[in-house]
Amino acid sequence: MTQSPWQPISPPKPPRPAKAPLTRERIVDAAMRLLVDHGYDAVSMRKVAQELGTGQASLYAHVANKSELDQLLVNRAAEQMEFPAEPDPERWQEQLKDCMREMLRVMRANPGVARAAIGQVPLGEQALLSTEKFLAILKAGNLPDQAAAWAVDLIPLYVTAVSFEETVQSASAWTPADLEGYVGRMRSYFEGLPADRFPLTLALAGALTSGSGGDERFEFGISVITAGLASLAEKP
């Protein structure tokens, strides 16, 4: 390669390369940014490419398809989960519930990640490390192998479904006041049902619409699951 004489000193290297090379890492970074800032619907191949200043076709050199990108997002979120170091047979049930709370916390902190996770078996490294953690706690609780194995399937299924439901409902960007209005309308709807065919729905209208906003429903769910699992523990 020849140097032209009127440009005797060419910059040894451009101070910053105009474009950092595209990598899986950078793609997931950009996708995660879009997810957190603008929700799951904003994570399209087009918008991720745009965020990186490239064409959408370029992504396919590093990521097989959208579904793989979704899996990578789930795995990235899993990195944020912090689980207790030492499984304790004395309080495994409380530890199990704490882990489920932690899963939900991280899913809420990355709104929309549940939509990437739902229906997929999480097989990334970080996701598997949380599986390992759950297995340790369940074995500390003396669950039979098969029960522990199926439980680590059931647990993310439940937590992901709860988070998914939340993101669908908050997709309309609800304020707490909106939520209250919605819950009120739903209660009125239940209370207006014909009493002959819906006696219980009508009688329990209050209970059915209670705990829609906060964590009570979720706390109920993880208690039911934990109690159900505990009933399967082997008595030594």
Q: Which of 24, 62, 187, 217 is in the footprint of DNA by CB under 7 A?
A: 62
Q: Find the shortest distance in angstroms from Cβ 222 to DNA.
A: 32
Is residue 120 part of the contact set for DNA (CB under 7 A)?
A: no
Q: Does 177 bind a second copy (CB under 8 A)?
A: no
Q: Which of the ranges 11-19, 48-56, 69-77, 127-135 carries the binding residues for a second copy, by CB under 8 A? A: 127-135
- For residue 82, what are its two tokens? 């912090």
Contacted by 233, from a second copy, DNA, none: CB < 5 to 8 Å by type: none
Residue selected from 56, 80, 126, 210 as contacting DNA according to rule CB under 7 A: 56
End-to-end CA distance of the chain: 78
Q: How far is CA 160 from the centre of its chain?
A: 6
Query: What is the gyration radius of the CA atoms in the chain, in angstroms?
Result: 24
Of 22 and 218, nearer to a second copy (C-beta) is: 218
Give which of 7, 200, 59, 39 is closest to 110, Cα–Cα. Answer: 39
Residue 50 corresponds to which amino acid?
A: Q
Q: In sequence order, which residues have a C-beta less than 8 Å from that of residue 151 and are 6 or more positions away?
A: 134, 138, 143, 229
Q: Between 60 and 220, whose beta carbon lies closer to a second copy?
A: 220
183, interface contact from DNA, a second copy, none, CB < 5-8 Å by kind: none
